[in-house]
């Protein structure tokens, strides 16, 4: 029994949610979330405003979908990599974090960080959603690997939450720079972004790793419970 061919109209309908999210993200980054109108999003996506409402009844739902599709799915992919990894935790972070941040920096989704920082006071519901979907699972992901490295004797006993911030916040600032000062001047003012990502992660991990000690040197302290 032959399978009916998919018509161009059907393909267009299936692609429409992604087209709407792409258009929304472009306009949110260009104009800001509050200043963007839904009819502008519909026009950029090439659909009617009524069609937009069928998929996303509000701007808030559009931005939540952008966060979910562009950030949350990447974190979930990282969690899968952590579950499947065999080897040192330092090697895991050196493969996981640069790939994640380079993908993020190269995509329009890098503008989401600027959106969140500039708009959350006006839209607290978005802030709560971002915390649940991005900040908490992202910190849990990295924190889990760091804690595992401490327990395995790879990393020094450290404040895990502080180490997560040390790894993540400069990367967020890199994305902010791209969509603020970097939009007005050469992004190379921070050096090559991809080199910066690799060097930053390597710098933090080298500070965490336990080095071989000389004979008679004190052994590393074990982490305190909790």
Which structure tokens are listed for 139?
Answer: 């910190």
195-210 pLDDT, tens per residue? 899 999 999 999 999 9
Model pLDDT, residue 14: 58
Question: Percentage of the chain surpassing pLDDT 70?
Answer: 82
Model pLDDT, residue 211: 78
Model pLDDT, residue 120: 82
Structure confidence at residue 12 as a pLDDT band (50, 70, 90): low
- Please determine, for residue 225, whether its predicted confidence score (pLDDT) is greater than 80: no
Model pLDDT, residue 191: 64
Model pLDDT, residue 193: 85
- Please determine, for residue 216, whether its predicted confidence score (pLDDT) is greater than 70: no
- Please determine, for residue 213, whether its predicted confidence score (pLDDT) is greater than 60: no
39-94 pLDDT, tens per residue? 999 999 999 999 999 999 999 999 999 999 999 999 999 999 999 999 999 999 99
Model pLDDT, residue 194: 87
149-166 pLDDT, tens per residue? 999 999 999 999 999 999
pTM of the model: 0.80
- Three-state secondary structure string covering the chain: CCCCCCCHHHHHHHHHHHHHHHHHHHHHHHHCCCCCCHHHHHHHHCCCHHHHHHHCCCHHHHHHHHHHHHHHHHHHHHHHHHHHCCCCHHHHHHHHHHHHHHHHHHCHHHHHHHHHHHHCCCCHHHHHHHHHHHHHHHHHHHHHHHHHHHHCCCECCCCHHHHHHHHHHHHHHHHHHHCCHHHCCCHHHHCCHHHHHHHHHHHHHHHHECCCCCCCCCCCCCCCCC
- Chain position carrying tokens 């808030």: 60
- Please determine, for residue 223, whether its predicted confidence score (pLDDT) is greater than 70: no
109-123 pLDDT, tens per residue? 999 999 998 888 899
Mean pLDDT of the residues in the chain: 85
167-180 pLDDT, tens per residue? 999 999 999 888 88
Model pLDDT, residue 178: 87
Domains in the chain: ranges and CATH: 8-57 (1.10.10.60), 63-208 (1.10.357.10)
């Amino acid at each position: 029994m032959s399978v009916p061919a998919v018509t161009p109209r059907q393909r267009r309908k299936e692609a429409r949610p992604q087209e709407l999210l792409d258009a929304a993200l472009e306009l949110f980054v260009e104009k800001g979330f509050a200043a963007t109108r839904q009819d502008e999003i519909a026009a950029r996506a090439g659909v009617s405003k009524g069609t937009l409402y069928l998929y996303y009844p509000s701007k808030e739902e559009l931005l939540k979908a952008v966060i979910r599709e562009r950030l949350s799915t990447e974190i979930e992919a990282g969690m899968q990599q952590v579950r499947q990894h065999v080897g040192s935790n330092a090697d895991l972070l050196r493969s996981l974090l640069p790939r994640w941040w380079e993908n993020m920096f190269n995509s329009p989704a890098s503008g989401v960080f600027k959106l969140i920082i500039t708009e959350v006071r006006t839209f607290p519901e978005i802030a709560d959603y971002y915390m649940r979907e991005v900040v908490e699972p992202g910190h849990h992901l990295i924190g889990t690997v760091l804690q595992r490295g401490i327990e395995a004797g790879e990393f020094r006993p450290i404040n895990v939450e502080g180490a997560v911030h040390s790894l993540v916040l400069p990367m967020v600032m890199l994305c902010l720079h791209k969509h603020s000062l970097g939009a007005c001047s050469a992004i190379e003012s921070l050096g090559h972004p991809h080199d910066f990502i690799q060097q930053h992660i390597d710098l933090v991990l080298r500070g965490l790793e336990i080095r071989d000690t000389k004979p008679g040197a004190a052994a590393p302290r074990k982490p305190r419970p909790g």
